[in-house]
Structure 1
Amino acid sequence: MARTAGSLVRLGFLDAAAARSAIDDLGEHGPALVQSLASSADPDAALAGLVRLASAVDDREDLLRTLADDEDSAERLSAVLGASEALSVHLGRHPEHWRDLTDATLATTRPPAFVVREEMLACVGADPEAAVPTSTMPDAAAVNALRVTYRRLLLRLAARDLAHRVGVDDVAAELSDLAAATLEAGLAVARSRVGESAGAARLSVIAMGKCGGHELNYVSDVDVIFVYAPVDGADDNAALRAATQVASQLIQVCSEDTAEGTIWPVDANLRPEGSAGPLVRTLASHAGYYEKWAKTWEFQALLKARPVAGDAELGRDYLELIEPMVWRAAEREGFVHDVQAMRRRVLDHIPAHQAERQLKLGSGGLRDVEFAVQLLQLVHGRADPSIRSGATLSALAELTRGGYVGREDGEALHDAYAFLRTLEHRIQLHRLRRTHVVPEDEASLRRLGRSLGFFSEPVAELDKQWRHHRREVRRLHEKLFYRPLLTAVAKLAGGDARLSLDAAEARLAALGYDDPKGALRHLEALTSGVSRTSDIQRTLLPVMLEWFADAPDPDAGLFGFRRLSESLGTTPWYLKTLRDEGEVAQRLAFLLGTSRYATDLLEREPQGVRMLGEDLTPPSAEAITAEMQSVASRQTDPEEAARAVRAVRRRELLRIASGELVAGTDVALVGHGLSRLTDATLEATLGIAMESVRATRGLDQVPARMAVIAMGRYGGFELSYGSDADVMFVQEPLDDVEPQVAASFSQAVVGELRRLLSMPATDPPLEVDAGLRPEGAQGPLVRTLASFEAYYAKWSHVWEFQALLRADAVVGDEGLRERFTALIDPLRFPEGGISSDDIVEVRRIKARVDDERLPRGADRNTHLKLGRGGLADVEWTVQLLQMRHAGAFPGLRTTQTLVALEAALAADLVSESDAAELADAWRLVSRMRNAVTLVRGKPSDQVPRDATERAAVARVLGHAAGESDRMVNDYLRTTRRAHAVVEKIFWEG
């Protein structure tokens, strides 16, 4: 019965006119085949392929009549022709293979592995019954026969898969059996190539990866490891040569391209030492490597090891050797860091333009499930052999059955993984190319959708299903690792849980928690009860636990979260914010698990959690000063006013610390922000102190103008979190005020200022240090402008003029500040520069500082302030340039190190490369100094020796977990280069 164009379109043909013409070409049997063709992924391609096949076969009539009479055979052939262009081409080259698709057993029976092995060995003329099968065919004929037979068996499998909807795990297992049989046959050809000497060694081929796990793709490298043993009486060197030659030839037999195409590459790079190691090893050599040198990821890879070809007894001996090592891997030192590194590698290998369409490596992809299942196996398989399967779906089923994964979670992940693997298979089948990227063009998506059974809206339904399953997988770490932990804590309260407490502790330990029992107690405290708060915590904690595990100190993160949650109690916004704003929760987890400094601030300022969703850029000094003065004005008691000011400072310290930790605030901006925050704090508190002293003394008005001069790193806009505020105080009596009255008042104000800023409170005190004033601790705390002028004119030394390079009149009476600056500028920026004697004196003082001030036991290579290439080296070098040349180059008249360095470069006083080395060192050392304080909660000028603290500092600086050694190497390299510049400019220039 002839089909109309409209009916053909409704059946799925896109080019109805071409389809009608092709059906007519098939003669009387054509109309009977339309329905089978229409059920394929691409009816037009299936029809075109059938026409080509009909013209290539010896008996066209037999082909068409058989297909017309046998609907199952017609559907199998149509399914292949419509889904796989590559297999369609194969049928055009070997048209006789169409008869394989008439085998009725394809619908119901997976061929046994031994049958496939026998067929592959027979095709290269090897006796399957022989103890060591060897090919008897000419080499070229055997190699081509191997490819033709492999492709014929692949055709049969594809027909079963496409037409009869075989489960993806069965398809993958059948592909793995076919690969194993091909390796066996390839081994027979390889032995024939090597000749008689091949008999000197027993050789076993151990499949790894997907082939070893019985879950191979249609197109994939086949990963292998070779193990050999000398035959009785054979020389060891002869055995090694023989095994190496046979293994090398096997790789060539399978991998090389011939007139009959390729099979797949054999990849031996998972062997010990990778491509740098010997191709073959004895059992003893494997044992020595794995016991001494192997990384955690290598044991993860060995989860799937399976002997597939060659000497079966030797393969079993290899498995017995490695199995105990695999299941002890989770006990290894560094297991957690290795696991984190493996997780990062998954994402690092994704090309940016493929990230959203990657089935394998992308977020919510196949590797996410595989990695999580394997990690659960490594953690729990030590005590439970039932979960040691190499196949992902089988292992997931056993993990679910054993209660390590919730039943619903396990089923959802099974469905998601099966869908993604099936989609991957359909993509690869089209041209038999190794790819894991979902195409974007409409025609390909339509073919893929129909191949998966979506016929009404194939593109839309495919997209919908793909996105659904990706979302399921994206939650896999919550699903597989963290949610079961919450059911386990129920046992602490006498309840029942599927995941045992021992298993929960093992899982927490594997995730990096040093005190798993303590972690479980925290979880119980957070989730016990039936309140809404507990419900939300049970929703939040699976995700939070993962983020804590990613932080350097998971235990501190969880404990800090518990304390913070308890302090905020039932505050309505807190948990709602964390639940609804993922960035806030993730930032909070990182802060709590990384920084004692930020954690302390959060515990004192729990409202600061809200800030984590805001802009973390430090605000201006003017804005903070206005706020501080406003909150202070609402208090009548000076101490309460000061506490209000310090509360604002505490909040802004948290903002700046959080910005550096989670938002990447530049270190120069951090120093600027901390310095301006100190300006505002001193400005507001100075006003409180002056008013307090005035009221206490019963004065109608304050008798003196006052100003605060920032010094040192404070004056240079370069404060760090642990810095004191180095200052000098200057005062000026008002008109008609006795100097003694003004002096007494100013002294009292400074005392009150320091008292208010250091009194016990819930915020970090601000220590005000006036030690850089003239005469130091022996001199008056406050001086008049005239007193400063007289001192500098008569008594000051070059080091005091050097200290004035950092003097910045920042707080207090504006006119007084301007007059002080005008006084000191000629002293610190002399018109002709400092004398040669003064240069010698500066160098002498620097040498003395280097020798005497380095703390006992400190490492000069890693001391952040006084070490080689550290802050002092860079800053003294820049300051010497300023003292020598600022009179001639106005750009050097600045208190800021980096600004002065840029000016020196512009004035050609330093080369571009030297300036870059100094700036890089200053930035890196300043960042590390900040990071140390943030991590430890207190300042230190030494690169941490403690491994946990060092790892946390590395994370703050942007290094990945486990890269603390790289951080130290970067530091040493950068400071070494800077020190060379210091030697050239400071000491020799």
Structure 2
Amino acid sequence: MTEQSPSDLSNDAHWQTWCEWASEAGVAIPEGGDFEEARAPVWEASEYVAVSAARHPDEFEELAASGDLARSYAPGDLDQRLRRLLAEVADEPALHKALRLFRRREMVRIIWRDIAGTAPLAETLEDLSELADVCISQPLDLLYDWTCAEIGTPRDAEGRAQRLVVLGMGKLGARELNLSSDIDLIFAFAQSGEVEGGPRALSNQQFFVRLGQRLVQALANKTVDGFVFRVDTRLRPFGDVGPLAMSFQAMEDYYQSQAREWERYAMIKARPIAGDADDVASLMDMLRPFVFRRYLDFGAFESLRALKQMIAKELHRRGMDANIKLGQGGIREIEFIGQAFQLVRGGRDADLQIRPIREVLALLGERALLPEDAVTKLDAAYCFLRLVENRLQAHRDKQTHLLPSDDLGRLRLARSMGFADWAGFNSRLESHRQFVQAQFDDVFAAPAAEGESGETGLTAVWQGEHSIDYDHGQLEGVGFEDPAAVRTRIEQFRDATARKGLSSRGRERLGQLMPQVLRIVAGSEHPDLALERVLRVLEAVARRTAYLAMLIEHPVILSHLARLASMSPWFTDHIGRHPLLLDELIDPRRLYAPLRREDLEAELDALLAHIDAEDLEQQMERLHQFAQGNMLRVAAADLTEVIPLMVVSDYLTEIAEVAVGRVLQLAFDHLIARHGRPTSILGADTGFLVLGYGKLGGIELGYGSDLDLVFLHGSESITAMTEGPKDISNEQLYARLGQRIIHMMTTQTASGTLYEVDMRLRPDGNKGMLVRSLRSFAAYQETDAWTWEHQALVRARPIAGDPALFGPFAEIRRRVLCRERDPEQLRVQVRDMRYKMRASLDKTRDGRFDLKQGVGGIADIEFMVQYAVLRWAAVHPELTDWTDNVRLLETLARLDLLPGKAAEDLTDAYKALRAAYHRSALQEQPKTIPVDQLAPERERVESLWRALMEDA
């Protein structure tokens, strides 16, 4: 084999041809080290550029003299250049010629800058994509006018002239176009109708098909001047057999009922290139739900895995394993990795609804969906492979992705990539491809096949293929305690799912999943109990095959589900009602690490970022997802004792506060958009305050707790009006604001309700106004409120709203709580209210003690604390600093206001009773315990009650 040298690649003959022309034409040959330093590698790497310069020397001379080879284009440069060129074009032959000359000039420039290294990859891809965009949109405008003049104007039902909407797909859609690439286009129009003003009757579809054909010809027909872009329109509905242009309605019908899974993948990159702005927005809104499902669609992994296997098989059959786009470790595998996550999660995380793959990868790193190191290496591999792709295609302006097999071609490619020889280049290339393939295999690893995890016997149990004794033996062997009962439950579940009418895909996935379920659940702490609870979840999601795919793809979800199910029914019941929460089980770093306020705010920002301000339904859905997902994380960390019990309520309270604060802001923004901002208010923000009472105010929220709320506003004048065009009084605005907040909090949606809200603690209870002014609230508390309302005020605090109102409320609260009171009268009033409450609410009976309302229970402690605050706050105003019982008891102890160890004993009893109450909530049991449990603590509380509230 003859060894090749760089001189074999030089294309010097073409350069000499140009130099001879320049000499004859009296044109100066460019001088300077920069030009020659760039020209030599360009001529070596791109025969296309060398031949173009030799054949069209005047064009290259103009390009070199213009300085365009040495500079980056500014935004809009290409558009302006082509617009000037087409200004005098009057017919299609002239249009075709102008486009081809324009394309040739700009391709030479782009290839020169790419090979010379003066343009980074991002600039090259952007320039190519912009070149395609302007070569589509500007000719389309001319062709539209010419077609209308010839055959009439297409109009909708209202008589509005319609334009063609052009979607760029693939790399063009993502603005990642490569040298010598096809451009994938889809044509659409808004409405069916008739063409007006033409010589004969035509439908709008006929018009737009004709227009589309003319555009394709303008771009793709080969003439003596070459072509502009090869055009592929096969990604349209029905492919080659479908009409070239379709109405939006026809497209929607197709994508809803007949589209295949790979078309979802393709549509991720769809980008409007031309068309009326309103029509474009309407089309993209229609397509979005087809591409990005509201639920987590893990079936995408299965579909893309199958598509990649099909591509690999076909490449191998055709002997094209060296394909850097479609082969192993190639560009397509990187794209599949990013787009799989987009398909799965894009419906819930709108930030992922982006087109450029490098931006997708970076976002996956930020979201911790891929390791940062993997993202860095995938990005480096992508850039390297795209440069290789461009170098391959720059050689002869040929669409190829195959590595050369001849020595000269290999040397040319290696040198164009900055390597001295093929060996050095190939080593780097293989390193990148091996990493990409390993990462792809990791992301798309197929779930373990039957038998690989010892599940053959459990598969038989699920399918009911063997005898009862066989099934019992298999179930007992893996760890179930009562195999007969478990077998019966499996039969019930199998029959129930059969009656649900699952699709063939659903039955297949369930058959694949159930042996895993049985094996994983059998290894949990209480397998029989866990199986019952896990099956409830599966019954809830069985018909949604995407969830079955999710569980198959991520067995770790089953592991966490089984573990937590064995600890609490709350967990699985919650997921059964809200299956989207299964996503929370994928990453244990998130699952067992509940968020604090700053991170909660950031997560909610991300969830709501792309929701339209007027889309109340989606705002509520995202708020529900936020609250439910974060409560689930708290429960997981609680059950596994990752966080101590006494801080569980802190987490749950912060979730509620963040949710209420965001509901307030969304509701306020909605109202001021219509009525303007309120005037003459205390505060510079909303002038609105949300108070939390009870458990919310006391930072003692539990799972499923109602929110006791009171609404106040800071309007200082009863006649003040809003400042908008549809002005209303401040009072009306705040009343509507309160109503909208309650509506958003309590309305049942597909995701349930956000929180149940109790407003009965507001002044005058259910008979009172929904929202009161701060001044009115103060007057009520000082003159009309009952003692029990002042008890409630002990636990009241601002949880959301205008910060300027926090201080004035605190002053009112302190003033009311620090009032001088008659100790005996106060004691009688508090005691009598407690007895009245106990008489109606205490569920102590049949050997069970009511943790909250029973004698010596939680409510007795709360009433004693409230009594103590109201009795001594006049002398010790620091008793108004806190709203939670534990810190109030600490303050009472520090001030030595309770006898002996009373405060310490009450604190210990309160924590013990709350722990039991809390556990009952997670077990979804009545909030009672056997009467012999916590007896010493209850007796101490009862003794202190008698001493403080009865014998004093």
**TM bucket by the smaller chain?**
0.3 to 0.5
Q: TM-score, normalised by structure 1?
A: 0.44
| Higher Rg of the two aligned structures | 1
Q: TM-score, normalised by structure 2?
A: 0.45
